[in-house]
């Protein structure tokens, strides 16, 4: 079938320059390199009111009506000409920061950009994350892309407090099933998040996730981003505080993880379960993880054996000279080491570190921000040994 | 209706803590997700208390007139608000008839009759803006826990408000959609709103 462009609907207006310049610079910058990929966010504004939304961090939570920052064509050009973009290799994320890509008024633009990327013959992974409605017609469009490795991740929390989670979880559940039943060219992942102890980790919540995991090519569970801006919103709106502290990384307490893993081990009916987004995405496509998580071996204990074999085969410790050459070019300042777990650098922000990580398929860590054993990518909150033993 | 500048009006009424605001917030979210410019009014009760005026079972004809008139004023202001696009739908969190149901319940709670003068003036006020394009009426679920109890909370009064809400709708023959405390009933009410607004207020 032919892919639709904007259809009969009026395209989303592009914000005037003076409004764009008044945004936080990080929000006005449409490209951000994140762990799961080079993220393109040319549309901002969302009506969904999720209490824990990261838009709080960009002072954009009050913007309820989506607007574009540039045309779809300009957004594609900006992405593929980005210095960190590598055709067929760099994972891409679309509209995962400041709107939901499947809103009726947003998705024509999502499809337009997907079509343009696909027409370039690019085979990069593309991640699209939604909690909104996905229809059979949408699935037909998503199946029509012939080159991209496309994954639709459906966020489902089962949190019942409408102040925190105003979107009924039944919407995500229906979308997931619709996607899974029609998947031909794309894959779909149950994105079970944010898991918060006492809020959505009851036996019933876990049973619900288990049931939904059967309608997904993979399931990823993860915790809550709880930064000071989000905590301030909770406080101002008389919402129950999930944690007493805030943290830079996601909070996924040990007790919640143990409850989930115990349920997973007890019941063979679960679909494949992962701690890391890229692990679930890679598995869904029958590939090794593109973030080199195999180096952080304790993450892999729940992986299906065939996935472990794939990741082991693909995971190769890179040559120090090649790593050093690239890292220096990116601005690394201090010594560079390669351990059995990760490349360790100094003086590089997250974007160049992810560039190295995705290029070598090997973890790349900042020496100043070590990942602790069993707490990879997680805050220390909710763990007995708060900073755990530092990973070797 | 494409060129009609008058926004559609959707109102909700019903006893306190029966999900009125939650329902309208969901409708607001759904409409915005479909690209419809929408404004929601609300917080009239809290503002009445700040005046200060009596609330709940202490309502008087005066406080009822204030609540109804403020609701009307809010709706007019919401429709007139200058946006980059005109407002297509107004969501009235407490339709004007709601004030009357609360007053009738307060009078019964106090075992006092409503004077003919008060009745006539308040009914005139409540009906001054004509029918809502969609009127939603929540139904009290006695089994559901009451999450936020104000200082004035009284279970008997809340039950009376529920009864007077639905009696009033029946007596005045007001077309409305009953919304019970079930996900399916909420979904149906949202569907009604979407069907109305996406047919009548194309984006």
Cis peptide before B52 (omega within 30 of 0): yes
Q: Is residue A331 part of a domain?
A: yes
- Domain-terminating residue out of A294, A311, A328: A311
If asked whether residues A325 and A207 sit together in one domain, one would say no
- Give pTM, 2 decimals: 0.89
Answer yes or no: do A64 and B32 touch at CB < 8 A: yes
Backbone angles phi, psi at A57, to 5 degrees: -70, -20
- Using alpha carbons only, what angle is made at residue A254 by residues A253 and A257, rounded to the nearest 5 degrees? 95
If asked whether residues A255 and A325 sit together in one domain, one would say no
Helices (H), chain A: 17-21, 25-28, 72-80, 107-119, 136-143, 169-182, 203-213, 228-236, 254-266, 277-284, 305-314, 320-330, 350-360
- The position carrying tokens 């605001």 is B21
Q: Is residue A10 part of a domain?
A: no
Tell me how many residue pairs between chain A and chain B have CB atoms under 8 A apart: 39
Q: What is the mean pLDDT of each run of 10 residues along chain A (392 residues)?
A: 47 95 96 94 95 89 95 98 98 96 96 98 98 97 98 95 89 97 98 89 94 97 87 83 82 88 93 96 98 94 96 96 97 95 96 97 92 69 55 40
Element (H, E) at B190: helix B183-200
CB count within 10 Å of CB A78 equals: 17
If asked whether residues A304 and A362 sit together in one domain, one would say no
- The position carrying tokens 């079938």 is A1
pLDDT at position A216 is 98
Q: Is residue A11 part of a domain?
A: no
If asked whether residues A302 and A246 sit together in one domain, one would say yes
Cis peptide before A194 (omega within 30 of 0): yes
DSSP A111-174: HHHHHHHHHTT---EEEEEESS---HHHHHHHHT-SSSEEEEEEEE-----TTT--S-HHHHHH
CA-based nearest distance A248→chain B, Å = 29
Q: Which two tokens stand for residue A387?
A: 């900073």
Q: pLDDT digits over A42-91, tens only?
A: 999 999 989 888 899 899 999 999 999 999 999 999 999 999 999 999 99
Q: Under a CB-based contact definition with an 8 Å cutoff, are residues A172 and A208 in contact?
A: no
ipTM: 0.81
What would you report as the CA-atom Rg of chain B, rounded to the nearest whole angstrom?
17
If asked whether residues A325 and A363 sit together in one domain, one would say yes
In A145-184, the residues whose Cβ lies within 8 Å of chain B are 162, 166-168, 170
The parent domain of residue A344 ranges over 318-392
If asked whether residues A143 and A65 sit together in one domain, one would say yes
pLDDT at position A353 is 97
Residue among A65, A100, A106, A131 with most chain B CBs within 10 A, to mutate: A65
In B65-104, the residues whose Cβ lies within 8 Å of chain A are 84
What is the C-alpha separation between A63 and B156, in angstroms, rounded? 41
If asked whether residues A273 and A289 sit together in one domain, one would say yes
If asked whether residues A288 and A330 sit together in one domain, one would say no
List of chain B residues with pLDDT < 70: 1-5, 81-84, 149, 200-203
Question: How would CATH label the architecture of B8-200?
Answer: 3-Layer(aba) Sandwich (3.40)
- What is the domain-level CATH number for residue A203? 3.20.20.70
If asked whether residues A182 and A278 sit together in one domain, one would say yes
Q: pLDDT digits over A316-369, tens only?
A: 999 999 999 999 999 999 999 999 999 999 999 999 999 999 999 999 999 998
Q: Count up the domains in chain A and report the number.
A: 2
Residue B8: strand, helix, or coil? strand
Q: Which two tokens stand for residue B157?
A: 């009064």
Q: Is residue A216 part of a domain?
A: yes
If asked whether residues A133 and A193 sit together in one domain, one would say yes
- Domain-terminating residue out of A263, A287, A311: A311
Q: Is residue A2 part of a domain?
A: no
Q: Is residue A12 part of a domain?
A: no
- Domain-terminating residue out of A252, A281, A311: A311
A258: Cβ contacts below 8 Å, ≥ 6 apart = none
If asked whether residues A281 and A378 sit together in one domain, one would say no
Q: Is residue A1 part of a domain?
A: no
Enumerate long-range contacts of B149-156, CB under 8 Å, 24 or more apart.
B149/B17, B150/B16, B150/B55, B150/B56, B152/B55, B152/B56, B152/B57, B152/B58, B153/B56, B154/B56, B154/B57, B154/B109, B156/B109
CA-based nearest distance A49→chain B, Å = 8
Domain boundaries, chain B: 8-200
If asked whether residues A93 and A196 sit together in one domain, one would say yes
Residue among A66, A104, A158 with most chain B CBs within 10 A, to mutate: A104
Q: Is residue A368 part of a domain?
A: yes
């Amino acid at each position: 079938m032919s892919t639709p462009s904007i259809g009969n609907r009026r395209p989303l207006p592009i914000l005037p320059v003076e409004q764009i310049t008044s945004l936080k610079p990080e929000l006005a910058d449409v490209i951000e390199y994140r762990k799961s990929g080079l993220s393109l966010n040319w549309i901002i504004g969302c009506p969904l009111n999720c209490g824990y939304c990261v838009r709080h961090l960009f002072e954009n939570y009050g913007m309820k009506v989506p607007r574009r920052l540039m045309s779809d064509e300009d957004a594609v050009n900006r992405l593929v000409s980005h210095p960190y973009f590598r055709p067929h290799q760099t994972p891409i994320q679309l509209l995962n920061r400041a709107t939901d890509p499947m809103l009726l008024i947003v998705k024509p633009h999502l499809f337009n950009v997907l079509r343009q990327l696909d027409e370039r013959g690019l085979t990069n992974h593309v991640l699209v994350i939604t909690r909104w409605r996905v229809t059979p017609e949408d699935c037909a469009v998503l199946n029509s892309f012939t080159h991209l490795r496309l994954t639709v991740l459906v966020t489902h929390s089962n949190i019942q407090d409408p102040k925190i989670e105003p979107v009924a979880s039944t919407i995500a559940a229906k979308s997931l099933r619709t996607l899974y039943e029609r998947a031909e060219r794309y894959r779909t992942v149950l994105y079970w998040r944010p898991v918060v102890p006492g809020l959505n980790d009851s036996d019933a919540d876990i049973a619900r996730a288990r049931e939904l995991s059967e309608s997904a090519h993979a399931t990823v569970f993860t915790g809550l981003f709880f930064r000071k801006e989000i905590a301030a919103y909770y406080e101002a709106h008389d919402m129950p505080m999930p944690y007493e502290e805030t943290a830079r990384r996601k909070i996924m307490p040990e007790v919640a993880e143990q409850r989930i893993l115990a349920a997973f081990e007890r019941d063979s009916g679960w679909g494949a379960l992962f701690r890391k987004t890229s692990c679930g995405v890679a598995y869904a496509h029958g590939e090794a993880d593109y973030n080199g998580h195999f180096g952080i071996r304790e993450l892999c204990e729940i992986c299906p054996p065939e996935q472990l074999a794939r990741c082991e085969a693909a995971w190769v410790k890179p040559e120090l000279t090649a790593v050093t050459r690239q890292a220096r070019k990116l601005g690394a300042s201090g010594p560079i080491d390669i351990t059995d777990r990760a490349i360790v650098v100094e003086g590089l922000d997250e974007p160049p570190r992810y560039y190295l990580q995705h290029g070598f398929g090997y973890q790349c860590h900042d020496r100043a921000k070590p990942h602790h054993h069993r707490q990879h990518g997680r805050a220390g909150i909710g763990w007995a040994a708060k900073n755990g033993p530092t990973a070797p | 209706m494409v060129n009609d500048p008058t926004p559609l009006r959707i109102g909700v009424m019903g006893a306190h803590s029966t999900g009125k605001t939650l329902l309208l917030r969901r409708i607001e979210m759904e409409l915005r997700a479909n690209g419809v410019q929408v404004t929601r009014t609300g917080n009239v009760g809290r503002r009445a208390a700040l005046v200060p005026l009596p609330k709940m079972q202490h309502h008087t004809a005066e406080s009822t007139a204030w609540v109804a008139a403020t609701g009307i004023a809010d709706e007019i202001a919401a429709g007139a608000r200058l946006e980059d696009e005109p407002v297509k739908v107004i969501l009235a969190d407490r339709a004007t008839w709601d004030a009357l149901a609360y007053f009738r319940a307060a009078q019964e709670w106090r075992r006092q009759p409503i004077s003919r003068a008060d009745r006539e003036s308040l009914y005139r006020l409540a009906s001054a803006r004509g029918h809502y394009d969609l009127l939603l009426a929540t139904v009290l679920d006695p089994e559901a826990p009451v999450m936020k109890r104000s200082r004035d909370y009284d279970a008997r009064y809340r039950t009376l408000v529920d009864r007077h809400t639905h009696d009033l709708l029946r007596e005045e023959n007001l077309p409305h959609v009953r919304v019970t405390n079930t996900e399916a009933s909420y979904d149906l009410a949202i569907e009604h709103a979407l069907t109305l607004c996406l047919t009548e207020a194309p984006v």
